[in-house]
Amino acid sequence: MYILLAVIAGIIAYSLFNFFYQKRVIKTLSEEEFREGYRKAQLIDVREPNEFDEGHVLGARNIPLSQLRTRMKEIRPDQPVYLYCQSGLRSGRAGQMLYRKGYRNLNHLQGGFKKWTGKVKAKK
């Protein structure tokens, strides 16, 4: 019984730590705030290529989270980075990875692409 409570407490503590750590590392922007700044930044879609091809924010580059470690050099650390994924989970993880490598001006779209109402480009 005590082991189960300890495991549950550990999971809750870990979740809270990640939640507050992510808030410090990457700024979560509303769609309006995201629109105001993404054209002057590096816009990165961290979804997988098949998701990207189905539709993405106009002007975005596709660097999937699964390839981020090997393709990180494609992102300049001296310029703002705007990240998004389908829901916000993967872009949060991507922001944490980039932060650990020295990137500081990190932002992501609250609610992800599924909440985006702006211009979208899809592969035909």
pLDDT tens by residue, 14-34: 666 665 555 568 999 999 999
Residues 35-92: tens digit of each pLDDT: 999 999 999 999 999 999 999 999 999 999 999 999 999 999 999 999 999 999 999 9
Is the model's pTM score more than 0.85? Answer: no
Range with the poorest average pLDDT among 2-11, 34-43, 99-108: 2-11
Whether the CB-CB separation of 62 and 49 falls below 8 Å is answered with yes
Q: List the chain domain ranges.
A: 26-121
Which pLDDT belongs to residue 59? 94
Kindly state the tokens that stand for 67: 């390839």
User: Domain 26-121 falls in which CATH fold?
Assistant: Oxidized Rhodanese; domain 1 (3.40.250)
CB burial string 85-110: b at 16+ within 10 A, e below:
bbebebbbbbbeebbeeebebbbbbe
Angstrom distance (rounded) from CA 14 to CA 96: 15
Residues marked active site are found at 85
Angstrom distance (rounded) from CA 62 to CA 23: 24
